[in-house]
Structure 1
Amino acid sequence: MEDIARLAGVSKSAVSLALNGKPGVSSETRDTILRIANENGYAIKSKPIADDKFKSITFLVFTNSGIVLEQYDHQPFFRELIQYIEERCRNFGYSLLFKSIDVKHINSDLQQLLEVTGSEGIILLGTNLHESHIFQVHQLVRMPLVVLDTYIETLPLPFVQINNTMGADQAAQHLYQLGHTTIGYIESSTRVANFEERKSGFHRSWNKLGLSIAPQHTLSVIPTILSSQESLKAQLQALINSGEPLPTAFFCECDYIAISAIKTLNELGFQIPQDITVVGFDNIAEASIVTPELTTVHVEKKQMAYQAVDLILQEIDNTDQAKTKIKIDTSFIERRSSILLNTRTKAKIGGSSQFIK
């Protein structure tokens, strides 16, 4: 390992992370380390499969520049999922290996993974994957496979997914019960299945209430930034400059977007929730420490993780069994970023104030 570190110009710990398939190094660095190891005849010692303490499951992630970043293990939602997956694996005597692949190089990277992995099964993070990607993995790996955080009805694979439609309905009902009828929708500029389900579910529920969202009140932002965003500020400023009142509330497709929206609105002089209510989706850990604490849809990340591990263990025991597709219900967490509309005294529009009847 010291020799490989010297040849690659990296630390010994980086070599360890790369060879053990753990997050913490970039895909380029990982590829360089694996190439140098291969060129110099380095081989990982095979571990006896019969020895229970060496049993492992691979957590496979396809990274891109959209929603699942290269340092995905630092993103709050995925960090919590990984924590619970590792916990459940340990309960059954399995270790968890981490493998990340660039979605642009799916065939070559996946083939390389199959040559070195010694795990009994794969949990595939499907958040950012299209049906064609998942089908490719299914055709190539030829080992027990469970897909987490997306749902394709027509593929013969086990899936564990969020009930996004339920969560969107819970958010819509909450806003309506608080008296909000003119609301805005802040969506992700990167579209994945979860966001599409949340959007269609929210609009369906809102329409059932006899309401609609004005086209100019649908805004779009990067979904992986927790700080304020200039692009969102520009969109909000355009609404202010139009002279019409801003929506009294915004529903955001994920907590990242909601937290970013709160910070951006604050910079424009709005107070949350006194001026504008903000509701998110996911209930990441940061939702309870942002100011004000975020009202959001709670996703049962622990249950999702446990179900994924349980399904992969069932697949390892019997790959011929009928496949199971699971949708896990959400719950709603009301915190301080939402408020009953008729308790407000005023809302700031630009630099002035407008009383709300």
Structure 2
Amino acid sequence: MKIDDIARLAGVSKAAVSLAFNNKPGVSEQTREHILNIAQIHGYKPRTAKTGKEIYKPNAIIRFVACKNTDIVTEHYDTLPFFNELIHHITEQVKQHGNTLIISSIDLQRIQHELEVLEKEQPSAGILLLGTNLTPPMIQHIQSIHANVVILDTCFEYVDANFVSINNTLGGYQAGKHIVNLGHRHIGYVKSNTRIPNFIKREEGFRAALAEHDLIVNESLTFDLHPMRVMPQEDFQQAIQQLQEVPTAIFCENDYMAISAIKSLQNIGIRVPEDISVMGFDNIFEAKVISPELTTVHVKKDILAKTAVKLIIDHLDNRENSGAHIYVNTEVVERRSCIPLVSSPGE
């Protein structure tokens, strides 16, 4: 395809196309965006007259891809608070840069084939990949399909790619420090029965914080829950009831599990936080709705989105082509589900 073809398809002169491609005055912004959009749709890559570098194209298509499975990123993942909020911020950021966001959901086991088909049908300028449950080989296959990929919500230190992730280790550490600073020593841990890097790193950080005070989580106080179900869970209730001494505080690897834990404890007559303090991770909307309101680790979904979109745009502008591993730090949000340990008389 040549510049004459772009002019014909856009219904403008060849000179107008040249002005638009070189970002020069002489055409309206609306006409410029129309011309660049036509070029993008038809796979034409304009180059600046002076530098020969690809120029930034407003109204480019950015594709957000969620890789679905039955454990974490489920069929209706976009209705879940964490992912819903993240997508909202990504949409806003893409709009601010004058581009269009297309959201695609693909089954995890068919990711490479289906993404190839999508890109053939409608080429994108960049892919934001929700990598929560991806493996390194999957990421490397996707990189072979597109040159401008940013992976969100996970990070593999030994993979040369653009990653924007929560600082999960820091968040787990902050949670551990918070619980210990409240005076708790007999501490429980609720972990996901599906292990992904995010949860593993949260556990590492949490245990590191306890180790600084010569504390550990006993195996009898470690409980497995489904990571995405917000409901009382019978197995957890039975495990708590069988304990000779219940923990005074419990940390859960995400807010869904924390809310499930609170509901389960209340079902069997255990008060939160008077009998057991409960802490979560993510700071989803429901954390402020549950009673008592949930103390949790705040994940800055807006910063995750802004950082990831900037990496995509920087690549389009040729300002930065090398891979980057970026971690967004977390912070504790104190609410009513955690209280200081009150010692019994005589202790």
Q: Give the TM-score taking structure 2 as reference length.
A: 0.82
Q: Which of 82, 85, 90 is residue 80 of structure 1 equivalent to? A: 85
CA RMSD across the alignment: 1.9
Distance in structure 1 (CA, Å) of the matches to 2:242 and 2:140:
43
Code of the aligned partner of 1:58: R
Aligned to 1:341, the other structure's residue is in SS state: coil
Asked if structure 2 preserves the Cα contact closer than 8 Å seen for 1:49 and 1:55, the reply is: no
Q: For residue 111 of structure 1, what is the aligned residue in structure 2? A: 116
Q: For residue 189 of structure 1, what is the aligned residue in structure 2? A: 193
Matched, 1:254 2:254: yes
Q: For residue 325 of structure 2, what is the aligned residue in structure 1? A: 325
Structure 1 unaligned regions, length at least 5: 1-46, 346-354
Aligned to 2:250, the other structure's residue is in SS state: strand
Asked if structure 1 preserves the Cα contact closer than 8 Å seen for 2:126 and 2:146, the reply is: no
Distance in structure 1 (CA, Å) of the matches to 2:201 and 2:228:
19
Deviates more, 1:322-331 or 1:80-89: 322-331
1:247–1:58 Cα change, 3 Å: same
Aligned to 2:184, the other structure's residue is in SS state: coil
Q: For residue 304 of structure 2, what is the aligned residue in structure 1? A: 304
TM-aligned CA deviation for residue 143 of structure 1? 2.9
Matched, 1:156 2:160: yes
Q: For residue 290 of structure 2, what is the aligned residue in structure 1? A: 290
Asked if structure 2 preserves the Cα contact closer than 8 Å seen for 1:120 and 1:143, the reply is: no
TM-aligned CA deviation for residue 333 of structure 1? 0.5
Q: For residue 204 of structure 2, what is the aligned residue in structure 1? A: 200
Asked if structure 2 preserves the Cα contact closer than 8 Å seen for 1:145 and 1:315, the reply is: no
Asked if structure 2 preserves the Cα contact closer than 8 Å seen for 1:169 and 1:202, the reply is: yes
Q: For residue 4 of structure 1, what is the aligned residue in structure 2? A: none
Q: Would you identify which runs of 4 or more consecutive aligned residues in structure 1 move more than 4 Å?
A: 50-54
User: How do 1:62-101 and structure 2 match up within 5 A?
Assistant: 62-101=67-106
Aligned to 2:274, the other structure's residue is in SS state: coil
Distance in structure 1 (CA, Å) of the matches to 2:204 and 2:161:
25
Q: In the TM superposition, what whole-angstrom CA distance separates every residue of 1:131-177 from its partner, at most 9, and x where no partner exists? A: 121111112x2231101111122222111011111111111111111
Code of the aligned partner of 2:103: F
TM-aligned CA deviation for residue 75 of structure 1? 0.9
1:188–1:323 Cα change, 3 Å: same
Code of the aligned partner of 2:191: E
Code of the aligned partner of 1:274: E
Q: For residue 11 of structure 1, what is the aligned residue in structure 2? A: none
Aligned residues: 297
Distance in structure 2 (CA, Å) of the matches to 1:59 and 1:133:
16
User: How do 1:30-69 and structure 2 match up within 5 A?
Assistant: 48-49=38-39, 54-69=59-74
Code of the aligned partner of 1:341: L
Aligned to 1:225, the other structure's residue is in SS state: coil
Q: For residue 19 of structure 2, what is the aligned residue in structure 1? A: none
Distance in structure 1 (CA, Å) of the matches to 2:119 and 2:176:
45
1:235–1:356 Cα change, 3 Å: farther
Larger Rg: 2
Code of the aligned partner of 2:195: R
Q: For residue 279 of structure 2, what is the aligned residue in structure 1? A: 279
Code of the aligned partner of 2:247: P
Asked if structure 1 preserves the Cα contact closer than 8 Å seen for 2:194 and 2:227, the reply is: yes
TM-aligned CA deviation for residue 108 of structure 1? 2.5
Q: For residue 134 of structure 1, what is the aligned residue in structure 2? A: 139
Q: In the TM superposition, what whole-angstrom CA distance separates every residue of 1:168-226 from its partner, at most 9, and x where no partner exists? A: 11111111111100010000011111000001111121112101111011000101011
Distance in structure 2 (CA, Å) of the matches to 1:114 and 1:231:
45
